Amino acid sequence: MTTKNKILLLLSVLTFFGVLLAMFQSFGSVIFYNIVIEPFWMFLWFFILLLPIFNLIEIIKNKDDWNKYNWVALYFNIMSIAFIMKHYKIDFF
């Protein structure tokens, strides 16, 4: 059980650092149906949208014990979402 939690934490931290890297580094772009897409961002969006859901599922399933790995991973997910919202100039409120 703790192995899954540590893997989710590792993926969340790597995604967070990937967001920071993608914000300051320019990667190659691909034009797909007249839309410019960076493949690195597509990879990050996949993890940014799914990891918080998986962390919340683990927190809800294991509500009897306090699991710090899932809470720290959820914090990194929220920070990643906040940085992406700032990068794409999406208002919080």
Block residue for tokens 């691909």:
30
Q: Within 13 Å of residue 9, how many CA atoms lie on the same side as its CB?
A: 13
pLDDT for 19-72, tens place per residue?
A: 998 888 777 777 778 877 777 888 888 899 999 999 999 989 888 877 889 999
Q: Please, are residues 26 and 87 in contact by the beta-carbon 8 Å criterion? A: no
- The dihedrals phi and psi of 28, each to the nearest 5 degrees, come to -65, 145
Q: Are 9 and 73 in contact (CB under 8 A)?
A: yes
Please give the torsion angle defined by the CA atoms of residues 20, 27, 88 and 50, in that order, rounded to the nearest 10 degrees.
-70
Quote the pTM value. 0.83
Q: Is the model's pLDDT at 92 over the cut of 80?
A: no
Q: 93 pLDDT band (50/70/90 cuts)?
A: low
